[in-house]
Structure 1
Amino acid sequence: MTFSLLLAVIASGFIYGITPGPGVLAVLGIGAARGRRAGAGFLCGHLLGDVLWCSTALVAIVGARQIGNSVFDILGVLSGLYLFWLGMRALRSRPGNGEVEQGPVRKPFWHGVVFGLTNPKAYPVAVATFTALLSSRAETLDWSMLPALIALSFVGGLLAYAILVGVVGARHVRTLYTRYELWITRACGVMFIGFAVNALAHALPGLLPRNS
């Protein structure tokens, strides 16, 4: 495994874990209401869902690569289009569209487990994010690397959650996030569009007819 691939997988797990969404907003709300320990408990539970969805996404990506370059390129195009759609939707966000955690949670860990495992957006976002960042290194992917890929994505997720744990627990953090949520969402939209362009740039040439 090359160093650039190692960094790409860690970055994928990190970005997947820290990108603002329902889970991030939920942990900020729990942390503001019940403190850093409760927020950390939620994230520990949520990490189970992250491992499941990221592992499933990596299986799909490696499987597509092993079946053939065209299959991986098609996956790359679909992922790029999905990320572009997510990015455009984020850029068009309006105030008040965010999901707000409803009241304190008595059992943060188990709430995190359920939250992470039942998020319907988790798998497609994981596939799209990992495909976008790994597409330039697709030729190096094979089944023997899968355990290491999963472990590295887990490390990236842990780094993201370490940062989140560091900032939760203070009400002013929740207030600041809520105040600038729209701009944070739009900034993430720009990031997703950038990932989409990267995925499409690497996938489309492989699907275009070659002149002999």
Structure 2
Amino acid sequence: MSIELYLAFCLATAILILMPGPIVTLVIAQSLRHGTGTGLATVAGSSVGNAILVAAGALGLSTAFVFLADLFDVIRWLGAGYLIWLGVREWRSKGADLDAATAGAPRDKSAVFWQGIIVAITNPKTILFYAAFFPQFIDTAAPLALQLILMSVSFVVIAATFDTGYALLAGRLRGVLSGARRARLRSRITGCLLIGTGIGLALARR
């Protein structure tokens, strides 16, 4: 793979990650609601989910991704339903004072870690990106395995880097919504983000 082809792949990956989607929304919502640490746990989960997808592609690129692309609607509805369920649950919650929450027991990071995995592997846009774009950047004159490893690792690293930035930024904005009076508003904002993204995912097309 030439350096020009690799840089083009990295640029396409960065554009995909920068576009608001289910993973970005979940990371921002968790960081606003529970803090930067929880947002970073979500990033860790989504990174594992992305790694699972690229590993599936590396083991059988065309077969695995074509099969997943054929299940676009099923995966889309599963991901949309999960995000809407999280949003409704957040909307209905009473919210918690950030100061009180910080003083109390930390939120279970394993739960949001698994949320990150689930949202990542049920994101149809990412699956279609793998299926449609990975083959476009493969140099047929070069070893296939090395190219797949390079692109897979690069995708996961770039995604984790940008998602971490979203988590840190949302964590800083969290202080604006501190205080018991704003706890309900914070829950409503995160709920709307998740529900809106779920609806958008449900309306997505190939």
TM-score bracket for this pair, using the shorter chain length: 0.5 to 0.7
Q: Which has the higher mean CA deviation after the structures are superposed, 48-57 or 99-108?
A: 99-108
TM-score norm. by structure 1 comes to: 0.55
**Equivalence map 1:131-210=2 (5 Å):** 131-138=131-138, 140=140, 142-169=144-171, 170=174, 171=177, 175=189, 178=192, 182=196, 186=200, 193=205, 196=206
Q: Distance in 1 between matches of 2:28 and 2:146?
A: 38
Cα distance, 1:127–1:181 mapped onto 2, change above 3 Å: closer
Structure 2 residue aligned with 1:208:
none
Given the superposition, is the C-alpha separation of residues 128 and 165 from structure 1 closer, same or farther in structure 2, using an over 3 Å criterion?
A: same
Pick which of 165-174 and 45-54 moved more: 165-174
CA contact (8 A) 1:12 1:133 kept: no
Please say which of residues 96-105 and 145-154 is displaced more in the overlay: 96-105
Give the whole-Å Cα distance in 2 for the aligned partners of 1:26 and 1:127: 18
- Closer, same or farther: CA 179–47 of 1 in aligned 2, 3 Å: closer
Q: Does structure 1 retain, via aligned residues, the 8 Å contact 2:13–2:155? A: yes
Q: How many residues align structurally?
A: 174
Matched, 1:122 2:121: yes
Provide Cα deviations, 1:134-176, integer angstroms capped at 9, x if missing partner.
3433453711223212221122212331332133233488728
* Structure 1 unaligned residues grouped into runs of 5+: 65-70, 197-212
Q: Which residue of 2 aligns with 1:111?
A: 111
Q: What percentage of aligned pairs have identical amino acids?
A: 9
Q: Is the 8 A contact 1:49 1:116 kept in 2?
A: yes
Q: Which amino acid aligns with 2:192?
A: T
CA RMSD, Structure 1 to Structure 2 (Å)? 4.5
Structure 1 match to 2:46:
46
2:159 and 2:170 map into 1 onto residues whose CA distance is 16
| Distance in 2 of aligned mates of 1:142 and 1:157 | 22
- 1:210 is matched with none
Q: Secondary structure, in 3 states, of the residue corresponding to 1:99?
A: helix
| Aligned-pair CA distance for 1:9 | 5.1
Could you tell me which amino acid in structure 2 is paired with residue 53 of structure 1? L
* Residues 53-92 of structure 1 aligned to structure 2 (within 5 Å): 53-61=53-61, 64=62, 85=73
